[in-house]
Chain A
Amino acid sequence: MATKLATFASIISCLLLVSCTAPWSSRQTTSSTEQASVVNMATATEPETPHARTETNTATTQPTVASVFEPTSTKVAASPSATTSVATPSPTPIAFRGKVAGCCGTFGFIDSKHLLVFDNPAGQQTGAWLVDRASGSRTFISAGFGLSSASGLVAIPDKSAGTTNIRRLNGSLVFTIHNGGVLTWISPDGTHVAWLEDLGITNISSLVPRTVKLWTAKIDGSDATPLLTFDAAAIQWLPDNRHVIALARAPDGSSAGIWSVNTTDGTNSVVVRGTFLQALRLSSDGSRMAYLETFSGTSADDGVWVADVDGSRRVHLSESGAFRWAAGSTQLWFLKLAAAGSGNDQLLQVDIATDRVINQVDLGGRVLDDDWEVSPDGQAVVFWNEKDQSVMLQTITP
């Protein structure tokens, strides 16, 4: 122990004497690794044989024009020899860019114009704040947090009261639902809600979702109806306002995969079967879904897939990692993490039909705990910033 102490003391003394121009918390030198990644990007954007593996012949191949966008001061560009067309960046639209919350990493886009963040700003109320994407101005909504809907309503559960409050974006209370104060999903048209009631059945592993009962009701909480029992943790409404999809399995462990449930009568089907599916995300127009398949037993089948919401037209993508939908249902953004301790994370825009990277954006920071979201119009990204644990809003397309 004495030797170790002496070693530490020597190291600390040396650092104090010679490192004054480099505080310990700072870094940000361009490494050879970063340069290499730019080269790889240039290579990846060159036209080549599409990698997309389509299970049916119904997927359409759309002509695309690859563009290179430089939204931040960090230069990320394709090689001059790349044979892609280069779009001329248009003036950046008026949109707020910068810090939108000082803590917590809890946020989500309500629509393309509004963002909901949890924050505890000094001298102000702690809770859910509505952020206007154009101006960055903020409006306090509630001391709690909630799930929002394209209808402009937010469902904010109150566990202690056993209720969920439905609020408008100005914070005004619309309805109070007596559903135990659990996570509540509002349909896109704002007419119905759905929630999962934990049945209290002892769980063996947290990797298996708890056994729950799916309920639906009108937006005011009336006509509450139990639909079915399954193992699931979250649901997503489809734009028809009738169906929800979920990563789920039957309570006996069978029928694992993506379930589609008709909320009018509880009829259901497994539209994509898979034992270890993860990261189910619905496109912003609600027509397609993307998910990650793991441990299928065939490595070529593992990775990110895109399918229609009925499970048809499945396409396997060659890009890997965390993903989010861009606008519509034809492109995904992938987060490419910078190496430990150096550089910014990058976003790669992948065209699903061609399985090609068509855009790269320097995020201007590093994402903490996988917390990032893309706006429904695909023009902004919000992320939890590793550097200071603030929540940052960035513009990502011209």
Chain B
Amino acid sequence: MRLVMSAARWDCYRSKRARQVYSLLFALILLTAAPFDLAYAQTVSPLFSLPFSGQPGPSTWYVAQWYGSTIWAHRNFDDIYSQGQGLHFGVDFAAPCGTPVRAIGDGVVFAVDGPYGAPPHNVVINHEDGYLSLYGHLFQRSNLQVGQHVSRGEVIGMSGDPVTQNCNQASHLHLEIRRTGMSVAVDPVPLIDADWRALTIGADTDGSRFELFFADPGKWMTNTQQPDTEFGGPVINQSGAAWPPS
């Protein structure tokens, strides 16, 4: 991707003939390098939709925690996120219990209440391009069956609360996107078509900000710079001094 960007800018200062030469060269690179295609698709062409319909707001839903090295993840690294390298390996959408949750893309049901965490109930959908979406903390077991086809936007369950069925502590949907046979979680933000800035509605949670590492201040500081999560891998967000301390 960086090669694409830099080539384009540099080319702007060259003659038309030079541009044609570089265009052909570039097309050749793309045709012969499959990994480039995947990276391009990930960063430029969102594949999925949001898991809720309607607008975010204080009565509907909003983003309470980003994927990655959030302040909340840093604070809870050794219990909630210990299996995910200390990272928050999904996006949390705060929503009242019972809010309809929708498939973010077409796919086939891979698991219902499978062994993938996010209790009390979860659903996993297998999509094209090697991605799987996980919908966690659902209020009740989904009516979907493994192997069943679902369409983008189809209701796959209702949001719940992992702390209590009374729904008065942490009602939210935990959305993950995984690949490599469920062993790796990736940041959903670049993969979902949304105006993400508007989705936090000013709730000002510590989940909407990222930990600042003094030794590498620019590292993992925005919601498009987060590392993949390898489940079972070592914790990666606890080295050295950071702000805020936990």
Q: Do A and B bind each other?
A: yes
Q: Please report whether the interface of chain B is mostly helix, strand, loop or mixed according to DSSP.
A: mixed
Q: Contact: A13 with B24, CB < 8 Å?
A: yes
Q: Contact: A339 with B195, CB < 8 Å?
A: yes
What CA separation (Å) do A299 and B200 show in the bound complex? 18
**Chain B stretch 80-115: residues in CB contact (< 8 A) with chain A:** 80-81, 88, 92, 94-96
A175 at the interface (CB under 8 A from B): no
Q: Which residues of A contact B207 (CB under 8 A)?
A: 206-207
What CA separation (Å) do A9 and B65 show in the bound complex? 36
Binary contact readout A104-134 vs B (1 if CB under 8 angstroms, 0 otherwise) = 1110000000000011100000110000000
Given A144-B243, A204-B162, A294-B58, the answer on whether A322 and B170 have CB atoms closer than 8 Å is no
**Chain B stretch 159-208: residues in CB contact (< 8 A) with chain A:** 162-164, 168-172, 195, 197-198, 200-208
Which residue of the partner chain, among B40, B195, B203, B212, contacts A104 with CB atoms under 8 Å?
B212
B11 at the interface (CB under 8 A from A): yes
Q: Contact: A160 with B241, CB < 8 Å?
A: yes
Given A12-B23, A294-B62, A370-B200, the answer on whether A20 and B12 have CB atoms closer than 8 Å is yes
Of chain B, the residue at the smallest CB distance from A298 is: B59
Q: Contact: A369 with B19, CB < 8 Å?
A: no
Q: Contact: A369 with B223, CB < 8 Å?
A: yes
Of chain B, the residue at the smallest CB distance from A335 is: B202
What CA separation (Å) do A281 and B133 show in the bound complex? 36
Interface residue total, chain B, C-beta cutoff 8 A: 75
Q: Which residues of A contact B217 (CB under 8 A)?
A: 103-104, 118-120, 126
What CA separation (Å) do A23 and B8 show in the bound complex? 8
- Candidate in A17, A23, A206, A208 with the most chain B CB atoms within 10 angstroms: A206
26 contacts between A and B (CB under 8 A): A5-B30, A9-B30, A16-B26, A17-B19, A21-B12, A23-B9, A104-B217, A144-B214, A144-B243, A205-B80, A205-B162, A205-B169, A205-B172, A206-B72, A207-B169, A253-B164, A275-B168, A276-B171, A279-B202, A292-B204, A295-B96, A297-B96, A302-B58, A320-B202, A369-B221, A370-B200
3 A-B pairs with the lowest CB-CB distances in the bound complex, closest first: A322-B202, A302-B58, A205-B170
